[in-house]
Structure 1
Amino acid sequence: MKIGILGAGAMGQLFGARLQIAGQAVVFIDAAPNTINVLNSEGIALTTEDGAEHTHASAGLASDFRDILDLVMVFTKGFHTAPALESIGHLIGPETHGITLQNGLGNGVELARHFGPDRTWIGTTDFPVDLERPGVLTTSNSGKVRFGSYSARQASVLPWPFRVLQEARLNPVLEVDILPVIWEKVAFNAALNTLSAVSGQTVGQIGKSKESKELVDHVLAETAAVAASAGVVISLARVKAAITNAYENHGSHKTSMLQDREAGRRTEIDYIGGAVVRLGAEAGVATPVLWTLTLLARQPLPERRTVTPR
């Protein structure tokens, strides 16, 4: 299989390395010259609880590749999805499938425009990955991929993308109805990512604050109400259990949205909390707490001043 990894960040490198080690022909498509150069010259070193593995890598700009791909896995930030897919139009054939495991809402719509609804797969992953630097990763084998058909059409046998992921030890689970899974991940991220980006708190600090946990509960309830207005029923108990696990086991973690905001980079707020607020407004569902947090998260952080003691 010829597989394209669109977006060679931490998660893209993890999935691409696993697929390459399993014998697939993988290309990493990115726009960052440093990442491209390092992957081409050094490959990818992957460390898990079972030991270390290494694989070579073929990386480049979209324009560097010519062969039609069998599968494209998209790992870009949500705001890069549309232009990234446009850039690989020459690599998409009539039988090419696309998978998105990105955070947030709306990415599946973009993929369906390029691959067609019946060749588009949407889902989530909970693989942890620590990117020490481009090409050097640490992860766990305990993660999984939950995905399903964008068009909700189910084959009588497991689709070939499932088998490809399974052979790469990516622990796929094919869901008959993937939307509750995606909305539960959105609720999780809308609560923790948005609040941390606004407050500057780590996940553990949120878990130790009565007021912060109250805000989390409000965001979860609002997100569940918006999901219900779209005909999707989510399990708040399951989301709260995942959040509690994050409090207890990932307390020092700074969410990606907080890291982006501190670095002055664009965040994915419009694809997570912002998307929930927008859909709520369209459906007449109020989201006052998430609306407020979303507005605050869009504001630039003030410049830090260094105070010199007298």
Structure 2
Amino acid sequence: MKIVVVGAGAIGGLLGSFLQKSGEDVTFVDINKEHVRVIQSAGLSVVRPNGTEIFKVQATTDIKEAGRPDLIIFAVKAYDNQQAAEDCLKIVGPDTTVLTVQNGVGNVDTLSAVLGRDRIIAGTTAFGCTVLGPGKIQPSEQGSISIGELDGRITARLQNVVDTFAKAGVEMHMSQNVDSLIWTKLLVNVGINALGAITLLTNGQLLEYGETAALQEAVVQEGAAVAKAKGIAFMVDDILEHVRGVARGTYNNKASMRQDIERGSRTEVLAINGAIVAAGKELGIPTPVNETLTKLVKAIEKRGKL
């Protein structure tokens, strides 16, 4: 299968490395010139506890050089969705499938408006990954991917994508309720990302302080109230305990939003905590804690790297 990874940072780089290792034809596309230069010259370095793997994979900053793919893995930051989707129009063919496993909500709507809803498969990943520098990432040791068609059908193309990742050794799950899948992951990000970015605590440390544990509970409860009003059920029985379980299970991880803050980069807070605030306003549901955290993260963004 010819695969183009658009946004070859942490998760995009990791998923592309899995597929390249299993023999798929993978090309990375990224706007970070230094990241691409290092991958072109030295390969993508994936740092693991037992050593570093080097993946010699094609990489470019010019999406037109990627050719026409069977599958696009769309892994850019949410704020780059519109431009990246428009760039994808330069390479999509009549049978190209686009898979998004991005954080936050609203990604599917943006991609659908530009590329066509019938192309899109959506899902989430339980992998964590840190960018250590240009051309170098460090993933969590465990993780999985859950994906589904937007209309809930189990199609041949969905099965093909699942089989392709499974051949690469990735634990895969098919979902017939993508909204539930995305909102369950959204609440995990709501409960961890902004707090990690503001406090610079690891995921697990957020549970060790009464103040951050209380804030986590508050933002998750606000998000759950919004989801209930929208008629969205979660994939788990107790969403707060699920968030806490993820935080414990990724104890030493730096949340992706914290990594953005440490680099002095823009964050996806508007697609995560900010999305809860926006939906709450539409539905008449108060979300004061999410609103406060969103404003704090945006202020830290404006301050820039210390």
Normalised TM-score (structure 1): 0.88
The corresponding residue for 1:216 is: 216
Matches of 1:198 and 1:29, distance apart in 2: 30
Q: Output the CA distance in 1 between the equivalents of 2:258 and 2:189.
A: 12
Distance of 1:63 and 1:242 partners within structure 2:
38
Distance (whole Å) between structure 2 residues aligned to residue 154 and residue 199 of structure 1: 42
Match of 2:35 in 1: 35
Distance 1:28 1:37 in 2: 11
Cα offset, 1:139, TM superposition? 3.3
Determine the structure 2 residue equivalent to 1:165.
165
Q: Secondary structure at the match of 2:93?
A: strand
Distance 1:201 1:237, change over 3 A: farther
User: Which segment drifts farther, 246-255 or 287-296?
Assistant: 246-255
Task: Provide the C-alpha distance between the structure 2 equivalents of 1:211 and 1:198, rounded to a whole number of angstroms.
Answer: 13
Instruction: Tell me how far apart the structure 2 counterparts of residues 260 and 234 of structure 1 sit (CA, whole Å).
Output: 28
Q: Name the SS of the counterpart of 1:285 in structure 2.
A: coil
1:41 Cα offset (Å):
1.2
- Looking at structure 2, the residues matched to 185 and 199 of structure 1 have their Cα atoms a distance apart, in angstroms, of 21
The letter for the 2-side match of 1:227 is A
**Alignment of 1:103 onto 2:110:** no
The aligned counterpart of 2:298 is 298
Q: Deviations over 1:20-42 (max 9, x none)?
A: 11111111001111111111111
Contact 2:27 2:66 in 1 (8 A): no
2: CA distance, partners of 1:298 / 1:16: 31
Distance 2:264 2:142 in 1: 33
Distance 1:236 1:298, change over 3 A: farther
* Identity among equivalent pairs (%): 31
User: SS of the residue aligned with 2:104?
Assistant: coil
**Cα 1:230–1:138 shift into 2, 3 Å:** same
1:50–1:170 Cα change, 3 Å: farther
1:16 paired residue number = 16
Q: Which range is displaced more, 26-35 or 237-246?
A: 237-246
Q: Which residue of 2 aligns with 1:186?
A: 186
Task: Supply the AA of the counterpart residue of 1:209.
Answer: Y
Q: Structure 1: how far apart are the matches of 2:258 and 2:93?
A: 38
**Could you say if the C-alpha distance between residues 47 and 258 of structure 1 is closer, same or farther in structure 2, counting changes exceeding 3 Å?**
closer
In 2, the alpha carbon distance for the partners of 1:272 and 1:41 equals: 35
Larger displacement relative to structure 2 (173-182 or 148-157):
148-157
Q: Which moved more, 1:223-232 or 1:43-52?
A: 43-52
Residue 133 (structure 1) aligns with? 133
- In structure 1, how many angstroms separate the alpha carbons of the residues matched to 2:39 and 2:131? 13
In the alignment, does 2:112 pair up with 1:116? no
User: Residue 76 in 1 paired to residue 76 in 2?
Assistant: yes
Deviation (angstroms), 1:93: 1.2
**Offset of residue 289 of structure 1:** 1.6
**Within 5 Å, which residues of 2 pair with 1:81-92?**
81-92=81-92
SS in 2 for 1:31: coil
Letter in 1 for 2:291: W
Contact 1:120 1:151 in 2 (8 A): no
Using the size of structure 2 for normalisation, the TM-score is 0.89
Give the Cα separation in 2 of the matches to 1:227 and 1:24.
Answer: 38
Instruction: Verify: 1:258 aligned to 2:258, yes or no.
Output: yes
Letter in 1 for 2:198: V
Shift in alpha-carbon separation, 1:4–1:177, aligned structure 2, 3 A: same
Determine the C-alpha separation between the residues in 1 that align with 2:273 and 2:299. 14
- The CA distance in 2 between the partners of 1:31 and 1:132, in whole Å, is 17
Counterpart amino acid of 1:16? G
Give the structure with higher Rg (CA): 1
Name the counterpart of 1:150: 150
Shift, 1:140, TM fit: 4.9
Contact 2:75 2:102 in 1 (8 A): yes
Once the two structures are superposed, what CA deviation does each residue of 1:108-137 show, in whole Å capped at 9, x if it has no partner? Answer: 112223442232111111123344333334
Q: How much has 1:217 moved relative to structure 2?
A: 1.1
1:225 corresponds to: 225
For these two proteins, the number of residue pairs brought into alignment is 305
